[in-house]
């Protein structure tokens, strides 16, 4: 592999929401490859805090969708309730080929600050996302408020919490989103 190859992959990664996904299923072996790559993220003191819950089957994605809809209905005051928002939130798992709950298992000894565990999970998600892009799939990390209430459906262990949902799917033909970044030179100070 050449540096240009990895640079091209990193710079072509985009956040593609489920509205850009086709209805093609994702091969489970691809998900296993992506999660194996996620497992190789950097981790201070080798705590490996990342944990994943995979909603791949139509039944599991429907169960997640139902949970989201019920939670929204239960949590939203009547004057703020929107049927459009409810459908938008509940349809995302159904429009995706898979949804992965991104969880963090806190080191029981708390041998390092929590932010380092969160950073390790974020590095893991970057590996997942780059793998997704390399396979030609779209991906999107969402962190809606309801993730703090997903415990029952995710069967979280003691000290474990959900940091977001990663939606993924095959992109509809011709889907390419532009992206820009400010020049890196504006963000660097060479110290003397």
Mean pLDDT (10-residue bins), the chain, 192 residues:
92 96 97 98 96 98 97 95 95 98 95 96 98 97 94 94 98 92 95 95
Q: Does residue 90 belong to any structural domain of this protein?
A: yes
Q: Does residue 150 belong to any structural domain of this protein?
A: yes
For residue range 32-72, what is the model confidence (pLDDT) as tens digits?
Answer: 999 999 999 999 999 999 999 999 999 999 999 999 999 99
Q: Does residue 79 belong to any structural domain of this protein?
A: yes
pLDDT at residue 1 in the model:
76
Look at residues 192, 152, 181, 146 and name the one whose alpha carbon lies nearest to residue 165: 146
| Whether 18 contacts 92, CB under 8 Å | yes
Q: Does residue 99 belong to any structural domain of this protein?
A: yes
* CA–CA distance, 126 with 114 (Å, rounded to integer): 19
User: How many C-beta atoms surround the C-beta of residue 119 within 10 A?
Assistant: 16
Q: What is the DSSP letter of 156?
A: P
Q: Does residue 181 belong to any structural domain of this protein?
A: yes
The token duo for 53 is 């819950």
Q: Which domain holds residue 45?
A: 3-187
Q: Does residue 192 belong to any structural domain of this protein?
A: no
User: Can you say whether the dihedral through the CA atoms of 46, 120, 103, 21 is positive or negative?
Assistant: negative
Q: Does residue 112 belong to any structural domain of this protein?
A: yes
The tally of domains found in the chain comes to: 1
* pTM: predicted TM-score of the whole model, two decimal places: 0.94
Q: Does residue 74 belong to any structural domain of this protein?
A: yes
For residue 103, give the CATH number of its domain: 3.40.109.10
């Amino acid at each position: 592999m050449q540096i240009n190859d990895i640079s091209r992959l990193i710079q072509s990664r985009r956040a593609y929401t489920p509205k850009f996904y086709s209805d093609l299923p994702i091969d489970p072996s691809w998900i296993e490859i992506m999660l194996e790559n996620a497992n190789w993220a950097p981790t201070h003191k080798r705590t490996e805090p990342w944990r994943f819950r995979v909603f791949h089957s139509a039944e599991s994605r429907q169960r997640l969708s139902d949970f989201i809809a019920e939670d929204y209905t239960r949590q939203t005051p009547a004057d703020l309730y929107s049927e459009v928002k409810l459908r938008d939130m509940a349809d995302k798992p159904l429009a995706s080929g898979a949804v992965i709950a991104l969880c963090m298992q806190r080191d029981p000894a708390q041998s390092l600050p929590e932010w380092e565990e969160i950073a390790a999970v974020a590095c893991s998600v970057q590996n997942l996302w780059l793998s997704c892009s390399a396979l030609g799939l779209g991906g999107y990390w969402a962190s809606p408020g309801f993730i703090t209430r997903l415990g029952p459906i995710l069967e979280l262990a003691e000290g474990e919490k959900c940091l977001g949902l990663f939606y993924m799917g095959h992109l509809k033909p011709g889907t390419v989103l532009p992206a820009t970044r400010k020049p890196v030179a504006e963000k660097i100070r060479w110290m003397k």
